[in-house]
Amino acid sequence: MRLFAVLLFAAANAFGQPRSGLDYASEEIRRLQASDAENPGMLWVDRGAALFAQHCASCHRPAAMKGVATRYPRVVDGKVVNLEAKVQHNGPRFAYESQELLSLTAYVAHQSRGLPFAQEVFPKQVENGKREYYRRRGQMNLSCAHCHEANPGKKLGSENLSQGQPNGYPTYRLEWQTLGSLHRRLRACMYGLHAELPAHGSDLLLDLELFLAARARGLPVEAPAVRR
Amino acid sequence: MALARIQVPKEAKRGELVEVRIVIQHPMETGFRRDADGKRVARNAIHSLACRYNGAEVFRATLSTGIAANPFLRFFLRAGESGDLDFWWLDDDENEGTARARLVVA
């Protein structure tokens, strides 16, 4: 049944093979991401390692974090749980976009670098995200698909449109000059559409995140990625 | 919390030119940005940075708000004795940062 759902899902992908945003990035950005000495996101990974030692290491071994990011978000008791929620399941609570949460998430996600997205598919909840993905929103009256399915590889002003894949998060964006979560990125898209901004960690963003993960199956984890 | 990543070769030969790279976590606030409430965010940039190699200064830089956040610097020095590279920097809030890396000369 699960395999069937995956197949059905693959067939429903309008663009076929998922491609990482890295494929659409410039040579300079790809170089920046590839070098651990120059990728600024690694600063957060270092800080995350210290936080992990402080808050998590009494129960978890760092080696056991390998692959965790390829399994989240997932649905637990009918609720979508993403990596940000999972890493603070039993420790102190940090706000979205706080340095602490970004660092911890970046550290855990980094342990899965290069491993393919392999989230379990939850057909019912993925449907919710899919509905939102294709819903027109904002004064621009566009859905996610208008840019990221119909036009990847083309230009939007001076920007390269990508497929909008989630495999590099948390990502260092040059525009932000800092690391940011997928939810921040999704909000940035909605801001561009002149749409109402959903709160970080809201059901809408979590549903979208779950759908995006299912859509990205097979792409390697790149965290911390670098994008424009 | 001052945080930096320094990259030097694992081992260098005496007399060899060695590439030193450092990334420092710092917002490099320009003083022109406004926060969500419209209040101006005070300028805070690293303005001075120096590197000492075995106690002797080998590199000094003056930075300002034209440099992006989390500045990345790269320079070359000639390997002498094995020893520590001691970085020091200071920002507009008078926050000092330090970082150290070991250069092993074979």
Domain locations in chain B?
4-103
% of chain A beyond a pLDDT of 90: 89
Assess A159–B contact: CB distance below 8 Å, yes or no: no
Please report the ipTM that was assigned to this predicted complex: 0.90
Residue-level pLDDT at B1: 54
Domain spans of chain A? 2-6+18-227
Helix (H, G, I), strand (E, B) or coil at A3: helix
CATH annotation of B4-103: 2.60.40.10
CATH topology assigned to domain A2-6+18-227: Cytochrome Bc1 Complex; Chain D, domain 2 (1.10.760)
Residue A195 scores a pLDDT above 90: yes
CB contact under 8 A, A37 and B25: no
Of A37, A47, A174, the CB nearest to B21: A37
The pLDDT tens digits for A118-127 are: 999 999 999 9
CA distance B57 to chain A (A): 23
CB contact under 8 A, A177 and B72: no
Q: What is the pTM of this model?
A: 0.91
Q: Are strands A171-173 and A225-227 parallel, antiparallel or unpaired?
A: parallel
CA-wise closest residue to A167 among A109, A99, A222: A222
Q: Write out the catalytic residue numbers of A.
A: 189
Q: What backbone phi and psi angles, to 5 degrees, belong to B26? A: -160, 135
A115-139 average pLDDT score: 95
Residue-level pLDDT at A10: 47
CA distance A73 to chain B (A): 29
CA-wise closest residue to A215 among A147, A160, A159, A145: A145
CB contact under 8 A, A38 and B21: yes
